[in-house]
């Protein structure tokens, strides 16, 4: 027998397979493919769950509409989303109204792979040289001047050691024979020891001792601009920075560090603001030692299919009274407010 509840999906899910799975188990599944505020507010009136799919429009606009939906959806029990909660919905508001917010814990492999791609592209100038070669501006007799840096046997440092960090550590350690350090105040020593990663208690220790710095920590008030001018100056002049989380790196400080040769290069998937307002005149976009992608680290075909199926499975479990796998925890600062 189908679950007698309603699931409202904004924009569709990461893959259509998730919608089909829900329709097999839930009595009412409504998909609103556009940001039609009037229709969404009407449909949310009797919905138990809202799913916020990958948005084709500005995230701020989505956030505004989901806030209204949470405020008016009196029967809402849960919200499901892809990405960080602050981007697409008001996590604090949802939690205060007794809702749970579900996500997916399956994004580690695809973001880790993208981080490795940025590392390779930056260290070996692949993106820049490929474009120059296509345009006929690079000849074979120029190769000696553009020799790339090797990765095998070097040392990598992870700023953040959650799901993505753990996936990345394994690929760096066993794929590139790298020594891996990690900085994350919220991780216990044994969690790093289990996979052969050295946990350090100071960010400065990590920055000074590694050849590649990877930033994938969760963005909080504590981690915003965790990498600024001071931190970049602590890195080796031969080191590279890879960033896949918005807000962790002070972009202006990074630009200046690259211009002055304070670090060797960078691989960037996110910007400040994100998306960038004026890419044509952004100095980062003209640097040969910087690899750039348009916030694509989490966008993979296989990944989206896994996420959609996982989200559908969690929704079904939740509506049947079972415990879903990936409930976003209530921030510590909110626990007193809710008690």
Q: Which residue has the tokens 């990958």?
A: 54
Per-residue pLDDT of the chain (339 residues; tens, 9 = 90+): 899 999 999 999 999 999 999 999 999 999 999 999 999 999 999 999 999 988 887 778 898 999 999 999 999 999 998 766 567 888 889 999 999 999 887 888 999 999 999 999 999 999 999 999 999 999 999 999 999 999 999 999 999 999 899 999 999 999 999 999 999 998 888 888 889 999 999 999 999 999 999 999 988 888 999 999 999 999 999 999 999 998 999 999 999 999 999 999 999 999 988 889 899 999 999 999 999 999 999 888 999 999 999 999 999 999 999 988 888 765 544 433 433
Q: Which residue has the tokens 């052969």?
A: 196
The 10 Å CB-count burial string (b at 16+, else e) for 243-258 is bbbbbbbbbebbbebb
Q: Is beta strand 3-10 parallel, antiparallel or unpaired with respect to 49-52?
A: parallel
pLDDT given at position 337: 40
- Report how far Cα 297 is from the mean position of its chain's Cα atoms: 7
Phi-psi region of 11 (alpha: psi -120 to 50; beta: other; left: phi over 0): left
3-state secondary structure of 83: coil
Distance CA(21)–CA(17), nearest Å, equals: 6
pLDDT given at position 339: 37
């Amino acid at each position: 027998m189908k679950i007698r509840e309603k699931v409202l999906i904004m924009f569709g899910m990461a893959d259509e397979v998730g919608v089909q799975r829900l329709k097999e188990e839930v009595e009412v599944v409504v998909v609103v493919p556009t940001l039609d505020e009037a229709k969404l507010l009407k449909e949310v009136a009797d919905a138990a769950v809202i799913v916020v799919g990958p948005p084709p429009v500005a995230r701020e606009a989505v956030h505004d509409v989901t806030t209204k939906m949470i405020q008016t959806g009196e029967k809402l029990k849960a919200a499901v989303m892809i990405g960080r909660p602050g981007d697409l919905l008001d996590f604090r508001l949802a939690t205060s109204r007794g809702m749970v917010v579900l996500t997916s814990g399956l994004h580690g492999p695809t973001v880790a792979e993208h981080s490795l791609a940025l590392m390779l592209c930056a260290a070996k100038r692949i993106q820049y040289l490929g474009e120059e070669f296509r345009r006929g501006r690079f000849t074979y007799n120029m190769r000696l001047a553009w020799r790339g840096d090797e990765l095998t046997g070097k040392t990598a440092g992870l700023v953040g050691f959650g799901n993505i960090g753990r996936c990345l550590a394994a690929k760096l350690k066993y794929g590139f024979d790298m020594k891996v350090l990690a900085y994350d105040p919220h991780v216990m020593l044994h969690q790093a020891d289990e996979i052969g990663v050295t946990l350090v208690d100071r960010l400065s220790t990590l920055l000074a001792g590694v050849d590649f710095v990877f930033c994938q920590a969760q963005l909080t008030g504590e981690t915003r601009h965790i990498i600024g001018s001071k931190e970049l100056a602590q890195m080796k002049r031969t080191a590279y920075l890879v960033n896949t989380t918005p807000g962790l790196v002070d972009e202006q400080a990074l630009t200046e560090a690259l211009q002055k040769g304070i670090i060797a290069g960078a691989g960037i998937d996110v910007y400040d603001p994100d998306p960038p307002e004026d890419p044509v005149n952004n100095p980062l976009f003209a640097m040969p030692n910087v690899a750039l992608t348009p916030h694509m680290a989490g966008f993979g075909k296989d990944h989206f299919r896994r996420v959609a199926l996982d989200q559908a499975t969690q929704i079904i479990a939740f509506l049947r009274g079972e415990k879903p796998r990936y409930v976003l925890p209530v921030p510590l600062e909110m626990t007193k407010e809710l008690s």
